[in-house]
Structure 1
Amino acid sequence: MSVFFEQNQIDQWIGEDASFLDLTSHMLGLTGQAATLRFICRGDITVAGTEEVLRLVQTCGGQTLQHLPSGVRAAPGQALLLAHGPAHALLRAWKVGQNLLEFACGVATLTHDVVQAVQAVNPAVAVLTTRKHAPGVRKLALKATLAGGAMPHRLGLGETILVFPQHRALLGGWDQVGQAIAQHKHAMCEKKIVIEADGLEQARRAIHVGADVIQFDKVAPESLADIVPQLRATHPDIPLLAAGGIHAGNAAAYAATGVNALVTSSLHYAKPADIGVKIELADPPEPLVVQKIEGLYP
């Protein structure tokens, strides 16, 4: 996964937990003893964030021997990462690495499950994730959802054009939206103009004023199943997105409506994965076994 994390992000994660010292390790005299560290999953998961934990361990003064890459599947009892180094270095990296893995693997695992459920209904329907998540975790959330098989919907306000009802209200109505699009569309020729709609009537208005894509917000799958064929009859090539309230429990139903993609924030709020940690004065364990997700890796 090629999501870029600056070194200052790694340093910040460490600094949040151990900015001065690990007082417990200092009191117990755990400094230069050679030790090993293993992060072990306790359930079937999709791996994410191990590359960042690798850098975290190295920054603390340890050395990573092996790790499972983001995007692969791991079984209960399987080690996600193995490292060795001075005891105090591994102890400093312990909880930060565990927290990072539990969040990232939890998000990646839920994403994988939802993507699989959607593709079982219609392999042509994409799962897209929003920029709606807890502040400060955008890159990690992005990496985790990519590892699970989803794609980003919108990473920032400057990336795409997405007209919400709030924009329409501030402009004064649909006619004003159409005027703004007509005035500037030539300069936005490389961008798609997405307009949010709450039903068939608004979708038709949005297309009339220049929408390239329609995003339906909080429209029930039963209603969408009726709306989509009507729009396809007159506008067969316009992409249709379903957004708002989509989660693991209803993603398959939305996928069956005929939309092109599902837009969801729910994957960012997955239950954390259960990751165990073992630190000991011992030789490293046997090499790790990689289980790949079909289609993500050659």
Structure 2
Amino acid sequence: MNPYTLPDAELDRLLGEDVPSGDATTAALAIGECRGRLDFRARFDMVVCGSEEAQRMGELRGLQAVGPRLASGSRAAAGTLLLSLEGRAAALHVVWKTAQTLMEYLSGIATATADIVAAARQGDPDCAVVCTRKNFPGTKAAAVKAVLAGGATPHRLSLSETLLVFAEHRAFLDEAPADSVRRLRRQWPERSLVVEVADEAEALRWAAAGADILQLEKWPVDAVDRIARQIPGTRIAAAGGINATNAAAYARAGSRILVTSAPYFAGPRDVAVSLSAS
């Protein structure tokens, strides 16, 4: 699976961060025109992400991909060859660490996402996992690609395209839930209306008012199960603390959507690199 590739301008920017004024060591050793090969391998089992960007970084610096590349979203066993690049040593050294690190971080997110998706599907094969916008600022496009590679989808790409009513919004309102629902539907008739609720009484009020989805923040599993049975026509999204250890339980309790930020805090999946002369 290859959801998309980060644009060349972004990849150039990442490469430039590491080589703002050239590669001092390679230049001082006068080895830049030598030919070589850079191999990237999975050090541990992982769901791969970022291999397309790593290849494109090489191409932007005049390198050539050799042999097959393992696409983002693929599962790789430890030792699997992910990508090989050939060309001038100067370019190999420029691309090496940035490409390696990008794949490591994105593969960490993708692998953690895939683990949560697998757990959720054990609880309910139709349960969806969605990842929040709590990625490190400035990394959204890359983080979302990793989420997609892991089998989940974004919860909210931005404030501009979703309707999610928090208590922090309601603090400024002096009207009944049904009135808020009518106003939101009039303004954004094509959007699903999501409301985060704190307790069962709030859940029942907003379900009766016509909310499409109720987001239950940090609710225990038994409370999710109880409210899901009371309002079977309203979709339930469990949020807060969702991870691979509890996803199946929340899915079995009737939460058809699991909202999580956990993959963004997963450790990188190590990518082993070997650079050799050719």
What TM-score does the superposition give when structure 2 sets the normalisation length? 0.95
What CA distance in whole angstroms lies between the structure 2 residues aligned with 1:231 and 1:162? 19
Q: Which residue in 2 is equivalent to 1:213?
A: 213
Query: Residue type matched to 2:39 in 1?
Result: R
Listed as ranges, the matches of 1:216-235 within 5 Å are: 216-232=216-232
What CA distance in whole angstroms lies between the structure 2 residues aligned with 1:4 and 1:35? 26
CA 46–62 in structure 1, closer or farther in 2 if over 3 Å, else same: same
Query: Residue type matched to 2:196 in 1?
Result: E
Alignment check: 8 A CA contact 1:68 1:80 kept: yes
Q: Which residue in 2 is equivalent to 1:119?
A: 121
Higher mean displacement: 84-93 or 116-125: 116-125
What displacement does 1:184 show?
4.3
Listed as ranges, the matches of 1:281-296 within 5 Å are: 281-282=277-278
Query: Is 1:82 equivalent to 2:84 in the alignment?
Result: yes
Listed as ranges, the matches of 1:148-227 within 5 Å are: 148-172=150-174, 175=176, 177-227=177-227
Query: Residue type matched to 2:123 in 1?
Result: V
What CA distance in whole angstroms lies between the structure 2 residues aligned with 1:124 and 1:134? 29
What CA distance in whole angstroms lies between the structure 2 residues aligned with 1:100 and 1:243? 28
What CA distance in whole angstroms lies between the structure 2 residues aligned with 1:184 and 1:114? 32
Q: Which residue in 2 is equivalent to 1:31?
A: 32
What CA distance in whole angstroms lies between the structure 1 residues aligned with 2:220 and 2:262? 16
Q: Specify which of 248, 255, 259 is matched with residue 259 of structure 1.
A: 255
Alignment check: 8 A CA contact 2:155 2:259 kept: yes
Runs of at least 4 residues off by over 4 Å: none
What TM-score does the superposition give when structure 1 sets the normalisation length? 0.89
Alignment check: 8 A CA contact 1:61 1:90 kept: no
What displacement does 1:159 show?
1.1
What displacement does 1:255 show?
1.4
Q: Which residue in 2 is equivalent to 1:276?
A: 272
What CA distance in whole angstroms lies between the structure 2 residues aligned with 1:92 and 1:259? 47
What displacement does 1:189 show?
1.7
Alignment check: 8 A CA contact 2:5 2:53 kept: no
What displacement does 1:4 show?
4.7
CA 180–255 in structure 1, closer or farther in 2 if over 3 Å, else same: closer
Q: Which residue in 2 is equivalent to 1:143?
A: 145
What residue ranges of structure 1 are gaps of 5+ in the alignment?
Answer: 283-298
What CA distance in whole angstroms lies between the structure 2 residues aligned with 1:118 and 1:179? 35
Q: Which residue in 1 is equivalent to 2:134?
A: 132
What CA distance in whole angstroms lies between the structure 1 residues aligned with 2:5 and 2:173? 38
What displacement does 1:249 show?
2.2
What CA distance in whole angstroms lies between the structure 2 residues aligned with 1:210 and 1:122? 25
What CA distance in whole angstroms lies between the structure 2 residues aligned with 1:159 and 1:186? 15
Alignment check: 8 A CA contact 2:64 2:86 kept: yes
What displacement does 1:20 show?
1.6
What residue ranges of structure 2 are gaps of 5+ in the alignment?
Answer: none
What CA distance in whole angstroms lies between the structure 2 residues aligned with 1:195 and 1:274? 39
What CA distance in whole angstroms lies between the structure 2 residues aligned with 1:257 and 1:208? 21
